[in-house]
Amino acid sequence: MSKFYRRGPDHRYGEVVSFVELRRRFNFRSIEIGRWVKPAESEQAAMHFYDALCDLMHILNANEEVVSLRGCLAFQYGIGGRPGVAAHYQPATRCFSLAKNAGPGSIAHEWFHALDHYLADKCFSDAPRGLFASSAWLHDCTPVPHPLNDSLYACFKAIFLDSSGTQPSPLFKASSAVDKQLNSVYWSLPEEIAARAFEAYVQDHAICNHFLVKGTKASKEAEMGLFPQGEQREQSNRAFAEYFQRLGRAIARSNQS
């Protein structure tokens, strides 16, 4: 596995960390490694994953429980892939999968899919099973009143609507235009737009980890407007920061009680 650029705090202090130790720390439901992943590759991948997930925890001002979604999240590496797809999230099994060679850099995107899915029935009282919170918000499902939920709704507003709050955002328009050009329905899916906005938020942090996220600033997709840009990027970043700050405070209060 090639070296990935990273700038951030030291989480391992030179220690070798295995997937067993990673699972134990974050309490993932399960971690599966493909049979074609060699032992040396697995060892290297485990340390990249460990650093990336610790970085994500710091960026979100959260704890291990948030990263594993209270132990309900599983992930696969080098297994369960789809042809031509570097990474994907499976709502039915609450599991995200990364391809051995093409998947790194997709962790933030796939993790947000998992969070988006996890929050749907907690933020909306009538969200159909399997729906993502972002899609439930866009389709006017009934919100569950709570200050933390309100902060999440503010994220979706910044992602999907323009500054007036009445028209589609530049990101939404660009995503719809690309789908129309390709005669597809993918880039404009609410959960995909929201995950790309989250990627931008993570990549704009002072901590930089290309195993966690990359490509929101300099890539073909970024040039096509498929990530938030300019004023909208600032607005969605602020909304995400507020949401995760509130989540961190709520977790701290819960741990003290």
Q: How high is the pLDDT of residue 251?
A: 83
Residue 117 CB-half CA count within 13 A: 21
Q: How high is the pLDDT of residue 194?
A: 98
- The pTM of this model reads 0.95
Longest dimension (CA), the chain: 53
The tens digit of pLDDT for each residue in 64-113 reads: 999 999 999 999 998 855 555 678 899 999 999 988 776 678 999 999 99
Cβ atoms 199, 131 nearer than 8 A: no
Torsional sign, CA 75, 62, 52, 187: positive
Q: Cα separation of 255 and 88, whole Å?
A: 32
Q: Does residue 60 sit in helix, strand or coil?
A: coil
Q: How high is the pLDDT of residue 82?
A: 56
Q: How high is the pLDDT of residue 76?
A: 92
Cβ atoms 211, 4 nearer than 8 A: yes
Q: How high is the pLDDT of residue 83?
A: 55
Q: Which residues of the chain have pLDDT under 70?
A: 1-2, 80-85, 102-103, 256-257
Q: How high is the pLDDT of residue 136?
A: 98
Q: How high is the pLDDT of residue 250?
A: 86
Q: Which of 234, 245, 229, 232 is nearest to 165 (CA)?
A: 232
Average pLDDT, rounded, for the chain: 93
Q: How high is the pLDDT of residue 211?
A: 94
Strands 30-33 and 95-98: unpaired
Work out the angle at residue 245's Cα, subtended by the Cα atoms of residues 240 and 246, and round it to the nearest 5 degrees: 100
Q: How high is the pLDDT of residue 253?
A: 80
